[in-house]
Amino acid sequence: MKFSRLVDEFEKYVNKKARGKGIKSEKLLKLQQLLIDKKFRYEAKLEATQDAQKRKKLETRLKVVDAQIEKSKKLSDAD
């Protein structure tokens, strides 16, 4: 799943939870797995590249994915 699509899906779940609606645990677990997979891919790419501009972009995306993983864990703990 592309990064932008993954971010959109995550925001959809956060907004749904904020409105007081429940989130199916299967969907949340699938999203968490996608985030973890994306994190591993970004870490591998970060290690493989020497281009400073690409490294900065990957580091930023990695921070976003890490934050989303933590937030998704909190959402699953809240249910």
- Check residue 54 and give its pLDDT: 95
Model confidence band, residue 50 (pLDDT cutoffs 50, 70, 90): very high
Domain extent for 65: 3-78
**Structure-model confidence comparison of residues 18 and 8, the more confident one:** 8
In whole numbers, what is the pLDDT of the chain averaged over residues?
88
- 10-48 tens-digit pLDDT: 888 788 777 777 777 788 888 899 999 999 999 999 999
Query: Quick one: three-class SS letters along 15-54?
Result: HHHHCCCCCCHHHHHHHHHHHHHHHHHHHHHHHHCCCHHH
Number of domains making up the chain: 1
- Check residue 67 and give its pLDDT: 93
pTM, two decimals, is 0.81
